[in-house]
Amino acid sequence: MLHENNICKQVGKVLSCDHTFKTSKHVGVTRKDDGKFVRQFENVFLALNENGEVMAWRFTKSTSFSEIYDLLKDLKCRLDKTGVTLEMVLVDDCCHVKNLYEQIFPGAKIRLDLFHTCMRIVQTIPKGTSFCTKFSNELSLIFRQDGDLGDERKMSTACPIEIEANLERLLFVWTKNLNQDSPREIEHLRKHIRKECLSDIPVGCGTEKNERLHRHLNRSLLCGVSKIGPELAIAVMTYVLYAWNCKRKGSHLQSKRVTPVPPVESVCTCNQDNVSPSKQHMKQTSNPVLSVSDISLPCSSSESAKNVDELETDHLLAHMIRVLHLQDFLTCTGPQMIPGPQMIPDRK
């Protein structure tokens, strides 16, 4: 539940969606009457932000938009609550689902993902040849603006006229080497270019991050079994995607740093004026030891305690937890773990 809540907190301005990852293992249940295994899911829908973090996901039986409609509606409500406006949605079938995404995210630009655009043409070329490698590298460059040089794109993709001109120059060089299936995919690409489906895409946005996530999922625990129940599959996938988000943020699950606890002297500075010089000298020379008398209690000056037993109250223990930075840890585990009188252990 904690990992799922963490994923539900992710937001972004650019959404990359695809159904291309297929569940390589059997996710389903076995019927009791005949013992037949019924497979329930075929694909995994993934929605990533511009940083490559998973904002939403779901097991699906097909690539139908109806299976993810409510998921996207919940994502829209989450973005509205946080004040984030979705600016662009990248999909692998933009012309088929453009109107559907615009109904959920009005004002967002629906664009065709560059990675899938190139792969549809590259897959028509025999792999393992020098021509395939050279053509693939030059095909990815036709979407760049003039002057955008280097190994990585540094500017948004060019306008339709500029992209189509780059495509014509590419075909002028390599048309003789293309097979009979390539021209058909190239004409589909030309139609998307003229419809502005490939223009104004920001740097670093696209499902190439999804492809790295696919490899991460293939190495997950989900691929260590031949059959798995839906409940366990969802739990494993949630944990794997949570670990992926932590990795994208640059943090590691096994090496998180602990917030250091400040010295006791910094907590007791407000009471140092009332301490005798001899006691101040003892505090400076001796090692700091946390004691009940060293903590300033949020009580009126007229209240006083005659002995330590009178200070052993639920209110004091809750105050000590906040001083020792345990309050932040308990808050992270959920609202049900916030310390209260009913959670203070019996000291007797």
Q: Domain segments of the chain: what residues?
A: 2-248, 264-283+290-343
Whether the per-residue pLDDT at 262 is higher than 80: the answer is no
Q: What is the DSSP letter of 180?
A: S
- Token readout for 332 is 């992270």
pLDDT tens for 23-35 read 666 788 888 888 8
Q: Where are the beta strands (DSSP E) in 106-220?
A: 109-112
pLDDT band of residue 181 (cuts 50, 70, 90) is confident
Query: 202 in helix, strand or coil?
Result: coil
d(CA 86, CA 76): 8
Helix (H) or strand (E) holding 167: helix 160-174
- pTM comes to 0.66
Query: 54 in helix, strand or coil?
Result: strand
Query: Which carries the bigger pLDDT value, residue 124 or residue 215?
Result: 124
Mean pLDDT of 269-295: 45
Cα–Cα distance list, 180 to 115, 116, 313 (Å) = 22, 20, 83
Whether the per-residue pLDDT at 194 is higher than 90: the answer is yes
Query: Which carries the bigger pLDDT value, residue 119 or residue 286?
Result: 119
Query: Which carries the bigger pLDDT value, residue 336 or residue 22?
Result: 22
Maximum alpha-carbon separation in the chain: 97
Mean pLDDT of 176-190: 87
Query: Which carries the bigger pLDDT value, residue 177 or residue 112?
Result: 112
Mean pLDDT of 78-94: 91
pLDDT tens for 130-170 read 888 888 888 989 999 988 888 888 899 999 999 999 999 99
What is the per-residue pLDDT for 189?
A: 92
d(CA 26, CA 35): 15
pLDDT band of residue 72 (cuts 50, 70, 90) is very high
- Token readout for 195 is 């419809």
d(CA 10, CA 78): 9
First vs last C-alpha separation in the chain: 34
d(CA 279, CA 272): 9
Per the CB < 8 A criterion, the answer to whether 130 and 194 are in contact is no
d(CA 82, CA 135): 43
* Sequence-separated (6 or more) residues with CB below 8 Å from residue 8: 56, 78
